[in-house]
Structure formats: structure tokens, C-alpha cells
Copies of this chain bind each other. A is one copy, B any other.
Amino acid sequence: MAKPSTPKGTRDFSSQEVYKREYIKRTISEVFCRFGFNPIQTPSFENYQTLMGKYGEEGDRLIFKILNSGEYLKEISTEDLQHQKENVLTPQISEKALRYDLTVPFARYVVQHQNELSFPFKRYQIQPVWRADRPQKGRFREFYQCDADVVGSDSLWQEVDFVQMYDQVFSSLGLQTEIHINNRKILSGLAEVAQIEDKLIDFTVALDKLDKIGKEKVVLEMKDRGISDASLAKLDPIFDLKGDFLSQLTLLENLLKDSEVGVQGVEELRFVFQNTQELGLQTSKLVFSPTLARGLNYYTGCIFEVKATQVELGSIGGGGRYDDLTGIFGLKNLPGVGISFGLDRIYLCLEELALFPETKPNQTQVLFLNFADKESAICMKLIKKLRQKSISCELYPKAVSIKKQMQYADKNQINWVVILGENEMQNDTLSLKNLIEGSQKNITQAEFLETISEIIES
């Protein structure tokens, strides 16, 4: 029989790994709470129609669909089956799909529960998402997103706050980052100035690939998508803006002076930057990236992308402002802004830079050796009392050789061992052995509880 395995792109997590992942989640959610965000959770799968068409064609392909239960073929016409076309059959045999991100389910949540919520509504969500992507380093088919969003206000103070939030999370984790920022209005303004308003999506989709394929190929793709040389010439300066944040903004403002939306984008970034400067950042740097585009088309204002400066791993966070996300579910004019943390990539960064606090593979603090049932019955009573004091402990389940039991303590890094054999039983004593120091002392069973509590709490 072949050894069983996890599906491609998915992973098991050992205790050690779970503890490390919990550490990241806890750090992020503590910051979320401090900023006034509260958790919600949505189901792992949504109705097929809730998700489809929200992430572009590519996204639709990468969504995992769930096969209907029971006699799902019964109602399908023979014709539809014979054509063997997935796009015809899939919607007929699947009515549910796994969550692809946390933003669309959140929009659905807001619309569904709009009468119970008070706006502005701030929520965070830390849950897995699934994508049928080709797995590679830092890219999995099941991975965790940690999102915080506010809907119901267009205030730019929220963008300022999110920059602070990124800084606080990554500073707490000890990770140096660059927070790249741009504004979709600047991209719209550029399209206006270059007279390619009808090709805004082509422009941003191509631009979004800059990191992966480089300027030359991006320009080629833009040409392929029908952007003229004349337009490209007008767009060219954004690939090579010089100077600090504010000087770049000034250069761009000049370029965009005939576009109202473009100038507005510049002003928004200036507000965010200046207030961020006023407040200061602990370890992050706010960087203006005029070529930052972000793949998702629902963004309308500021957009963010965070990179760890000491590790090459793509973005470990992203987000932005969307002015009409809930519109797709029938609730118009509800502006929102949100950011996301990529738990799995952050994990890889912390691992690579050895930034995790030390963790033990096993939490057990005291192991009681097993000699025979009579001795074990006494041990179990002591164990019960110890656990009432919140001390993790256990009886080795079987009276096998002491060597084997000691190996178990060793492998699980259990520091204290209690020896209560026949002699000790008769004298109402026990031996307490410290495996790190190799020391051992004999005490009465009556003394034990106090002794061990003192030792462990100190």
C-alpha cells in the first residue's frame, strides 16, 4: 500500500508549527483589537453564484467547486453531457464553492446582515482560503488570510490607521518591511492623460505584472493590448520617478495636472504620507510605488502592498480602498477599505530569519513513570491535583521498561519525572528527578504538591 499523503499544495502542521502559527495569529489579532476591530467568521464555502465572476476570469478558474451531493446527474440533459464542456456542466453539478478570499464573503456578510450592523463597521477575519493555483515556494492551495476592513466611511484617516497597523504588527513580529502605496485614482488619471480611459483594465492588469516580468515585457503586453506608442510615451515617467515620497508626488502631480481624478489621487496620498510622518513608524517604511496596481478590480482608491526587506518572497500583505464592493450584492454606495496579512508567507519570513520565540514541542511539564496499577492509582491522584493547579502532566500509560519511559520524557522534552515505585509507595514518598540537571530528590507525597508548584512557578 502506498504511504498516504496530503493533497498537492496542502500541508499538515506539527505541534511545533501550530504553536508558531498561533503566535502569528495572536500577534495580528491583538493589534486588530487594539485598533477597534472585532472578529467575525463566515462559512468555508459560499454559494457558487456568490463567488463566481468576482475575481476575473483567472479567479473563476482557480475557485474550488464542490460537487453536488446525491443524484447530481439526474437532471442534466444528455446533450449537455455529450458536449463535454466544463463551463456548461460545472454550474449544473456544483452549487457551492470554497472561499477564495475573505473580502467577497465579507461583502456578502455586510449585505446579508446590514440591518443588524452599525456603520462604520469594523471587522477582522482570520480564516483559511483555497485556490487551485500551481503550488510553489510561499504559494499553497490552502492558506490563511488575516483581514481587517472598515465599511461605511470614506475617511482617509482609515488609510493612515492601516499603515500604523501594518507597522505595529510587523514591528511586534520583528520583521522589517516596506509598505508600498499607490492610488487607483492616479492610475485612472494616467489613463486619462494618455487617452486610454477605455483600456484602464488592460493597463492595470499589465502593470500589475511589473514585479514578475519587468518593464520591457509589461510595455510589450500593453502594446499587445492595443495601447499606442504615443500613449506609452506619456505613461513612461511612472517607471522612473526620482526623489523622496513627496518629490515624486509633486512630479506626478505635474504630469497629471489635466486630470481631476489623477490630482485627487495625488492629494490623497499626500494626506496619508504626511500624517504617517507626523505619527511616525516603528520599523516599517512607507514607499510610494506609482507602478503598484493590485490585481483585483474592485479597488478604487489607495492600494497597499507590503514586502519584507530581508527576505525575497513577494508580498506578505496587501489591501486597499474599494468604493462599491457591496454593490455586487445589491447594497450601493458603501465605501470600504481593508488590508490583509498573508499568514503563511509571514511564517516563512520569520522562519528564515529565525524570529520565532522559542517553543517546546510538548507542553507536558511532569511525567509520572508507570510501575504497576497500584502505584499508578496513587500517581493519578497526584496528577489530578497537579492539573488543578494548571500544571501539564501525565502518567506514562504502561509499565514498560524505565529506559523506554525515560526516552519518552527525553524525546518530548519533559523536564521533570516522578518516580513512585513499590518502595516509595510503602513509605508514602516519591522521587522527583530533574532531567536537565540530572538531579533527584526524595520527598514525601504530602510535600510533593507544594514542592513541584514552587519549582515550576519559579
**A21 closest partner in B (C-beta):** B41
Q: How far is the CB of A107 from chain B (nearest CB, A)?
A: 9
**A387 closest partner in B (C-beta):** B34
Taking a contact as CB atoms under 8 Å apart, the answer to whether A73 and B69 are in contact is no
A333 within 8 A of B: no
Q: How far is the CB of A130 from chain B (nearest CB, A)?
A: 7
> Chain A 112-132, CB within 8 Å of chain B: the 1/0 string?
110010101011000010101
A408 within 8 A of B: yes
Interface hits, A71-87 → B, CB 8 Å: 71-74, 76, 78, 81-82, 84-86
Taking a contact as CB atoms under 8 Å apart, the answer to whether B67 and A90 are in contact is yes
Interface hits, A1-59 → B, CB 8 Å: 1, 3-7, 10-15, 17-19, 21-22, 30, 33-36, 38-47, 50
Taking a contact as CB atoms under 8 Å apart, the answer to whether B18 and A40 are in contact is yes
Taking a contact as CB atoms under 8 Å apart, the answer to whether B158 and A397 are in contact is yes
A208 within 8 A of B: no
Which of A72, A76, A397 has its CB near the most chain B CB atoms (within 10 A)? A397
A453 within 8 A of B: no
Instruction: Give the size range of A's interface with the partner.
Output: 35 or more
Taking a contact as CB atoms under 8 Å apart, the answer to whether A380 and B412 are in contact is no
> Chain A 341-382, CB within 8 Å of chain B: the 1/0 string?
000000000000000000001111000001000001100110
| Assembly CA distance A128 to B127 (angstroms) | 11
On chain B, the residues within 8 Å of A394 by CB distance are 35-36, 122, 161
> Chain A 409-449, CB within 8 Å of chain B: the 1/0 string?
00110000000000000000000000000000000000000
Interface hits, A158-194 → B, CB 8 Å: 158, 160-161, 164, 168
> Chain A 76-116, CB within 8 Å of chain B: the 1/0 string?
10100110111001100111101000000000110111001
Taking a contact as CB atoms under 8 Å apart, the answer to whether A43 and B10 are in contact is yes
Pick the contact of A38 from B15, B94, B275 — CB < 8 Å? B15
**A386 closest partner in B (C-beta):** B34
Taking a contact as CB atoms under 8 Å apart, the answer to whether A1 and B329 are in contact is yes
Taking a contact as CB atoms under 8 Å apart, the answer to whether A66 and B65 are in contact is yes
Taking a contact as CB atoms under 8 Å apart, the answer to whether A398 and B153 are in contact is yes
A393 within 8 A of B: yes
Taking a contact as CB atoms under 8 Å apart, the answer to whether B72 and A35 are in contact is no
Taking Cβ atoms with an 8 Å cutoff, the residues of A that contact B are 1, 3-7, 10-15, 17-19, 21-22, 30, 33-36, 38-47, 50, 61-62, 64-67, 69-74, 76, 78, 81-82, 84-86, 89-90, 93-96, 98, 108-109, 111-113, 116, 118, 120, 122-123, 128, 130, 132, 142, 150, 153-155, 157-158, 160-161, 164, 168, 275, 278-279, 329-330, 361-364, 370, 376-377, 380-381, 384, 387, 390-395, 397-398, 407-408, 411-412
Give 5 closest A-B pairs by Cβ, nearest first: A155-B397, A10-B43, A36-B394, A15-B38, A1-B330
